[in-house]
Amino acid sequence: MTDFERIRWFLDASGIIKQWPSTQIKQQIVLRYLASHIPPKTNFTEKEFHDFLEKWHSFGNASLLKRELYVKHHVDKELDGSYYWKSAAH
């Protein structure tokens, strides 16, 4: 089973994340999926990154996604949270 097949129930027909998974393994897959859509070498202001995340989910919690992407090292940020960018490791 591919990663996409494991999370397809959490995506709508357009590929937008419609629900946050309850299991950590599926959360990790959803985060990898979301991170794959973050353009490399792009610095986002906090608002721009929030707006980007709003476009990729419909369950109303961009802050959760932002925090999890950072904690799981998919994105890096300035210490004051003013800028976000895709981690070089991903």
For 8-61, the pLDDT digits (tens) are 999 999 999 999 999 999 999 999 999 999 999 999 999 999 999 999 999 999
Strand 83-86's sheet: what is its strand order? 44-45, 83-86, 75-77
- Per-residue pLDDT, 1: 80
Query: The tokens 């629900």 sit on which residue?
Result: 19
Residue 4: pLDDT band by 50, 70, 90 thresholds?
confident
| Its pTM surpasses 0.75 | yes
pLDDT above 80 (res 66): yes
Domain limits at 39? Answer: 3-86
Cα–Cα separations (whole angstroms), residue 69 to 4, 5, 13, 51, 61: 18, 21, 23, 15, 13
Strand partners, 45: 83
Q: The domain spanning residue 23 has which CATH number?
A: 1.10.10
State the CB neighbour count (10 A cutoff) for residue 77.
Answer: 18
pLDDT above 80 (res 87): yes
- Per-residue pLDDT, 90: 62
Number of independent structural domains in the chain: 1
